[in-house]
Structure 1
Amino acid sequence: MSIHAIAVDPKDPQQFIAIKLPQPEVGENDLLVTVKAVSINPVDTKVHQGAIKNGLQAPKILGWDASGIVTAVGPNVSGFAPGDEVWYAGDITRPGSNASQQLIDYRIVAKKPRSLDWAAAAAMPLTALTAWEGLFEHLKIQDASAEKTLLIIGGAGGVGSLAIPFAALNSQVKIIATASRPESAAWCLERGANLTVNYQDLVGELASHGIKQVDYIFCLNDTDGHWPAISQLIAPLGTVCTIVENAQPLDQNQLKLKSASLHWEFMFTRSMFSTPDMAQQGKILQQVAELVDAGKVKTTLTATLNGLTVASIQAAHHQVLAGHMQGKVVVTC
């Protein structure tokens, strides 16, 4: 039996191709999942750009967000059985979810929300994990008092769209989100932001609201571009977390003077290094599923493309690369 996949073409990495592969052999900690929907994230486009720059020896299957049905389980797996409906964000060191079937370590998987269809579920895992880990494991905003402020740079994107309601539900902080368009501002406010500001002049915009500094900053795009404002705005003893790699060295003199801390959030760390707490990601996804089914968190799905084809994957990548995504784009399989 073979599986169908869409992969980066090693002969021309700019392009995607449809390929057939043997059905993978289930490892001891693996679930074999029949994929029903996948979403496209900035990491997909970045890995694709890396393949274009560095070349490939073999076709590369991208995709790190999926919902699907468990087909088989490995001997060490507990808590899952064939027929279970699941969601997960994947492992960047293994073949991705742009395939009819995929192997995934059961520890980073959870049962999908019962209230969501395949596409709505696939939109959320990677961004949910990134938002949750950034807010509650690095920034630790759940411990903050009500007078503290959180600035989310990139409020209407995939991660920001979940970071806002997570912060609103699980902390007392005042939530400020960046949004440059009226529809993006409305999106952020609907999800629980207390205030929106235009990212093009963060210092000036916040000053117009009487805000000279913030206690927590969650940077979800363009770390280099926003760094001068971040350094100026972060309060003494404040905390910064970013998910975007820097292209240039970051001047940390202001952070040093303020005894402020800088954290990096990379959702794939736990699976990449098989950390002892790797199963925490499955637990986080289960908590998020419960919030969704309780009606407290909404899916971030905003666009759906039908059929796992070269054309649909290319179109989804183009939407993400355009840089104006509100929420997430999903491809159904």
Structure 2
Amino acid sequence: MKAILLTEPGLQNLKLGQSTLADLKPGDLRIEVKATSLNPVDYKLSTHGHPSWTYPHTPGVDGAGVVLEVGPEVQGIQVGDRVFYHGDLTRAGSFAEQVLVDHRAVTVLPAEMSFEEGAALPCAGLTAYQALVRFCNLQAGQTVLVQGGAGGVGSFAVQIAHQWGARVIATASPAKHELVRSLGADEVIDYRDPEQMVEQVLQFSAGGVDIVLDTVSRASSTLGLQMVRPSGQLAFIAGRPEPEAVQQLGHPIKVHEVMLGGAHVRKDDAAIRDLSRMGEALSSMVVQGKVKVLISQHIGLPEIPEWLIKLKAGEVPFGKVVATL
């Protein structure tokens, strides 16, 4: 089968080639990949490698497709089902014509959704959902700050918070303000002047937000500490806030590190199954028109290496890059 192969760590070592899959393990599905999306974790691990990988390795954590074969001990999924999933990073991934996936992590793709929408949903959408709903227990009437509101995770987070009845503040560059407002943000702030940004957030939130979701960096999550009210919460995906800054706050907050793939790493049955349940909840919101899947670029399988480089360089203007196979 055709696949993107990483011959050794380094984005320059990603090539289109031929690969084969291992035999199905108990609980596995063999899936014909119809679409796959590109995520920061894909270029990060392709750059640095992973201790469990042997080379050549096929990256790609997210995908959507059709079930070709079911292994022993599979329940609830049948051959021919349309599905999407967030895969196990230690295994061969979705930048290929076929992939093996743990059935517990798979969600049936609603008929109203395309494979491209399904592929774009898991990593970014489930991360936003897990951070806000599972970890922070988002409630109507709360005020939420999303740092990086036009990105993959941020664009989903703005919409989820809006649909939960929260007041949403988001940061974005000025060119993306209207886009982020269209997703449900009540206030959109230019992040390029950090001091002014903090002042504006504190003004809009009457002294501090209930929840900060930072999708940007360690420096950004550290800055987010200044905007959380006492007993509020900060969730981050791109860098833990500086410990000294947390200690110097002078009031308690809850800090959550969001690592969606940790479910596979821990081999946590409940957490793996929750990937599927969160997928059901989020795809239902898409079908109902409550959440939009933002796809900024449609590509083919051979274009994945060059677009991973562009994603790393920050050249993707908003939302997700999706490859159709």
Q: What TM-score do you get using the length of structure 2 for normalisation?
A: 0.91
Q: Is the 8 A contact 2:221 2:240 kept in 1?
A: no
Figure out how many residues of one structure are paired with residues of the other and give that number.
Answer: 320
- Aligned mate of 1:188, from 158, 171, 180: 180
User: Kindly tell me: are residues 283 and 303 of structure 1, through their superposed partners in 2, closer, same or farther at Cα, counting changes over 3 Å?
Assistant: same
Note if contact 1:132-1:166 (Cα within 8 Å) is conserved in structure 2: yes
1:81 aligns with 2:82: no
Contact preservation (8 Å) 2:169, 2:201: no
1:320 aligns with 2:320: no
Change (3 A) 1:14 1:220: same
Give the conservation status (yes or no) of the 8 Å contact 1:203–1:212. Answer: no
- Cα distance change of structure 1 residues 57 and 76 upon mapping to structure 2, 3 Å threshold: closer
In 2, the alpha carbon distance for the partners of 1:215 and 1:57 equals: 44
Normalising by structure 1, report the TM-score: 0.89
Q: Where does structure 1 lack aligned partners over 5 or more consecutive residues?
A: none
Give the equivalent residue in structure 2 for 1:103. Answer: 100
Q: Secondary structure at the match of 1:76?
A: coil
CA contact (8 A) 1:114 1:293 kept: no
User: SS of the residue aligned with 1:316?
Assistant: helix
Once the two structures are TM-superposed, the CA of residue 10 in structure 1 deviates from its matched residue by: 2.3
Paired with 2:220 and 2:205, the residues of 1 have a C-alpha distance of: 23
CA distance in 1, matches of 2:244, 2:25: 42
Contact 1:65–1:88 under 8 Å retained in 2 = yes
Is 2:212 the partner of 1:217?
Answer: yes
Q: What is residue 121 of structure 2 aligned with on the other side?
A: 124
**Aligned positions of 1:1-333 closer than 5 A:** 3-10=1-8, 14-51=12-49, 58-142=55-139, 146=141, 148-169=142-163, 171-182=164-175, 184-200=176-192, 201=194, 202-207=197-202, 209=204, 211-227=206-222, 229-246=223-240, 251-255=245-249, 257-277=250-270, 278-306=272-300, 308-309=301-302, 312-325=303-316, 326-333=318-325
Of 61-70 and 110-119, deviating more is 110-119
Q: 1:254-290 deviations in whole A, cap 9, x for unaligned? A: 34x2111111000001112111312111111112222
Q: Write out per-residue CA displacement over residues 289-320 of structure 1, whole angstroms, 9 at most, x where no aligned residue.
A: 222122222112111012x12xx012221231
Q: Work out the percentage of aligned pairs sharing the same amino acid.
A: 29
Secondary structure, aligned partner of 1:262: strand
**Structure 1 residue runs of 4 or more that deviate by more than 3 Å after TM superposition:** 207-212, 246-250
Unaligned residue ranges in structure 2 (runs of 5+):
none
Q: Do 1:198 and 1:205's aligned partners in 2 also have CA atoms closer than 8 Å? A: no
What SS does the aligned partner of 1:159 have?
Answer: helix
- Distance in 2 between the 1:47 and 1:19 partners? 19
Mapped partners of 1:163, 1:11: distance in 2:
32
Q: Using a 3 Å threshold, how does the CA distance of structure 1 residues 11 and 176 change in structure 2: closer, same or farther? A: closer
CA shift digits 1:27-74 (9 cap, x unpaired): 11111000011110111111122139x9x7511211111111100001
CA distance in 2, matches of 1:320, 1:119: 18
Change (3 A) 1:69 1:210: closer
Whether the 8 Å contact between 1:29 and 1:76 is mirrored in structure 2 is yes
